[in-house]
A = this chain, B = another copy of it.
Amino acid sequence: MTQLELAKKNKISPEMRFVSKSEGMPVDVLKNRIREGRIVLIKNAKRKINPCAVGEGLRTKVNANIGTSQDRPRIKPELEKMRVAIQHGADAIMDLSSGGDLKKIRKAILKGSTVAVGTVPIYEAAIKAHKKRGRISRMTKEDILETMDEQAQDGVDFFTIHAGVTQNTLERLNKKKRLMNVVSRGGSFLVEWMIKNKKENPMYDHFEDILKIARKYDITISLGDGMRPGSLIDATDRPQIQELILLGELAEKARRRNVQVIIEGPGHIPIDQIESNVIIQKKMCNNAPFYVLGPLVTDVAPGYDHIVSAIGGAIAAYHGADFLCYVTPSEHLRIPDKDDVKNGVIASRIAAHAADIAKGVPRALDWDRAISKSRAARDWKAQIKRSIDPARSKELRKSSMSKNSDVCTMCSSYCSMKIMDGCLRK
């Protein structure tokens, strides 16, 4: 039975107990929200990990994308990136590999990862078809379902499924004239397939078959947004919202089949449209958890897109997004290296934590209180230890020490906190 099925039958699973305890949410509240589809516990039934709990009232979670490309097919750097991501606090990993031995890479990541692992099965299915038959458009329904079944058996915890890229969606895209058409890799594979075969999206047509696989292993379906905008100019347009309507319908289907589901969201969105994007997602999809890629609040800062998406992610999570997919400084320029992964994870965690404070997630503010107490006491060791990246804060402090060990080189003996200690004690 899936976690959703258990919740529907009013049963408390060990996974629910674990999350209830670690998040400080009463187990009945948690169970009810799972039943209503407002919370999912991401974990393949076969895997021995703690579930990644995503949804209303929980700590906002962070996902880090890793994976090979044709230009960079080696496994080792990806495993290293996985370790760096987990070490710096990623709550989930997605293996988006598209180069080299995909099965081998996936198995190594699943073996090494202590957190939930997601994939986009259409990548492997399309790449297999491309290799076997020379074209992505020669991919068959069987390619897709067999790939998914194999990945499910391997232990993948969540699947991105671009089932909302339909002929209906494409019609909206053709009418709209976007600046950037489709910037989702999975989306573009399916659009090519649909145009060349003049047929409906096989993931939409065979959604029930996909659900059977997902249900068997309790894989959470992440309904992908193939129409997410790739530029602020295209944000919140008709193709995007058309797809979202379909995702809402598909989410309902999934829940009816006891499959847990989350919804993926944009993308490049100006700040003033973020709240509306969260509200419309929640309304269209009966409050399913919202998993956002960014959002990126400007297009102009390649090299700094971790900062751009920390801004968007914090605002989205504050308004109710539940799961942030990180963006690295290398976005739009190259495959990320391990430093990019670290910086991406930390930027997203800052965004998630800042939002959690603002939306009143229990215990979130405790961390800030603790570090501020150390700061007020000029207890540098404790301040560093309590910081989000102790190695980094230690390195910065050590690189520039004051003659007076209780202050820093910014203000030296004119440290406001020290002055206040001096005069308030008298």
Contact = CB atoms under 8 A, between A and B. Distances in A.
Contacts of A189: 414, 419
* Interface SS of chain A: helix
A337 to B, nearest CB: 8
Nearest to A305: B350
Contact of A347 (B299, B302, B307, B417): B307
Interface string A378-402: 0000011011110011011101101
Nearest to A195: B423
Given A189-B419, A270-B354, A311-B310, A392 B303 contact: yes
Contacts of A420: 181-182, 188, 191-192
Interface in A344-389: 346-347, 350-351, 353-355, 357-359, 365, 367-369, 371-373, 375-376, 383-384, 386-389
B334 A388 contact: no
A314 B333 contact: no
Contacts of A359: 272
A277 interface: no
A236 interface: no
B350 A423 contact: no
A368 B331 CA distance: 16
Contact of A417 (B183, B303, B351, B353): B183
Contacts of A233: 365, 368-369, 372
Contacts of A303: 387-389, 392-393, 395-396
Interface in A223-250: 230-233
A187 B411 CA distance: 13
By Cβ-Cβ distance, the 9 closest A-B pairs, closest first, are A231-B372, A188-B416, A271-B358, A70-B412, A334-B400, A272-B358, A303-B392, A297-B354, A299-B368
Given A69-B412, A300-B353, A315-B315, 8 more contacts: A98-B414, A182-B417, A233-B365, A297-B358, A301-B389, A303-B392, A304-B346, A311-B315
